[in-house]
Amino acid sequence: MKTRRRLKLAVAIVLAAVILISCAGFIVVHALYSRQFARTETPESSIYPSYDEITGYDRYPVSFKSGENTLRGNVYGAENDGGLVVIVHGLGGGSDNYIMEMMWFVDHGRSVLTYDATGSFSSDGDGKVSLAQAALDLDAALTFIEGDERLRERPVLLFGHSWGGYAVTAVLNFDHDVTASVCMAGYDLPFDLLFEQSRNIIGGLAYALYPFERVYHRIVVGKTERLSAVEGINRSGIPVLIVNGDRDDVVRADGSGLASHRGEITNPNVEYLEVKNRGHNDLLLSDAALALEGVPGADRFAACELDDGLMTTIDGFFATALK
């Protein structure tokens, strides 16, 4: 009888310990998610040039639904006939961070659509949801384009960085008419990057939290948890340019980055470009702009100057796809 009671007590203690550990694990994971995917407001000041500082780039506003949220953006260079470049921004930023890229494409004869993703800058949303949300927002943007009489006849060219780099490849799993896509510092699967970042932030504790993070991620993301950029690239067969910096320690070329998945990519129209001496956020910057990093009072246009050679390569890739 005593043995049975002791066994029941031991079982109860073990179950209580499992429940407490599980609760603690989910609390920690929830805290990490809440911080990582909190809403990003438009900053009062920025290192990037703003639209108010430029002239000669007329735009008109657009808005569309992504789930329950309204996303807001702008179309630039509507008079141009060189295709419509859809710029998809990275996590924690917004479309205003890509003014320089917009100007470059408009100057080279393309129309440009930019928008703020869910939970970012001018768009609705209490938070950014997950690393998969960017693809869902881009799906909504392309659906909007296809139904808009001013845009639907234009060839669509996708251009995205990081979160946006994932979006412009993962969205190819959906049925949209896309001419070409340029993925900069993109990843294949959201959870792979998420776990990689967890290891960077909390070290070995990430392995202890792995089962809780995996379950929590599945609950938050649902069916899109397995929305793969590699599968989208292979399924579409369209021209895709995968660009990464050889010093990128955020989306690593030997880790979660798309560049590490060459062996799985079977689309014959994929090209790869590794940019030397560049990391994650400076991937497109010129040498002159890099020299101004950290210089107090540096001109923002000069500090954000794009690498003309790299941008010419990207635009040439688009031009070839349009032929």
DSSP string covering 182-241, please? EEES-BS-HHHHHHHHHHHHHTTHHHHHHHHHHHHHHHHHGGGGG--HHHHHHHH---EE
In 10 A of CB 5, how many CB atoms? 9
d(CA 278, CA 214): 32
Residue 36 DSSP SS3: helix
d(CA 289, CA 302): 6
Q: Of 136, 126, 166, 127, which is closest to residue 64 (Cα–Cα)?
A: 136
Residue 211: per-residue pLDDT: 76
220 with 244, same domain: the answer is: no
- Among 206, 226, 246, which residue terminates a domain? 226
Residue type, 198: S
Query: Is 294 or 305 the better-scoring residue by pLDDT?
Result: 305
Full domain range(s) for residue 205: 1-32+190-226
Residue 17: per-residue pLDDT: 55
Tell me whether residue 179 is in a domain: yes
Mean pLDDT of 199-213: 75
84 with 150, same domain: the answer is: yes
175 with 202, same domain: the answer is: no
Total domain count, the chain: 2
Confidence of residue 95 (pLDDT cuts 50, 70, 90): very high
Tell me whether residue 217 is in a domain: yes
76 with 28, same domain: the answer is: no
Residue 210: per-residue pLDDT: 74
Tell me whether residue 2 is in a domain: yes
Confidence of residue 113 (pLDDT cuts 50, 70, 90): very high
122 with 143, same domain: the answer is: yes
- What percent of the chain lies above the pLDDT cut of 90? 75
Strands laid side by side in the 69-76 sheet: 59-66, 69-76, 111-115, 84-88, 156-161, 180-184, 240-245, 270-275
| Contact predicate 179/192, CB 8 Å | no
158 with 306, same domain: the answer is: yes
CATH number of the domain that residue 312 is part of: 3.40.50.1820
Tell me whether residue 167 is in a domain: yes
Mean pLDDT of 88-101: 97
311 with 269, same domain: the answer is: yes
Counted residue by residue, the chain has a size of 323
> Is beta strand 69-76 parallel, antiparallel or unpaired with respect to 111-115?
antiparallel
Backbone φ and ψ for 132, nearest 5 degrees, come out as -90, -15
Strand partners of residue 60? 75
Tell me whether residue 277 is in a domain: yes
214 with 134, same domain: the answer is: no
Residue 222: per-residue pLDDT: 78
2 with 110, same domain: the answer is: no
215 with 296, same domain: the answer is: no
Span between the terminal Cα atoms of the chain, in Å: 84
Tell me whether residue 38 is in a domain: no
71 with 180, same domain: the answer is: yes
Tell me whether residue 257 is in a domain: yes
Residue 7: per-residue pLDDT: 63
Strand partners of residue 73? 62, 115
| Contact predicate 244/258, CB 8 Å | yes
Confidence of residue 30 (pLDDT cuts 50, 70, 90): low
241 with 292, same domain: the answer is: yes
> Is beta strand 240-245 parallel, antiparallel or unpaired with respect to 69-76?
unpaired
Tell me whether residue 55 is in a domain: no
d(CA 28, CA 17): 16
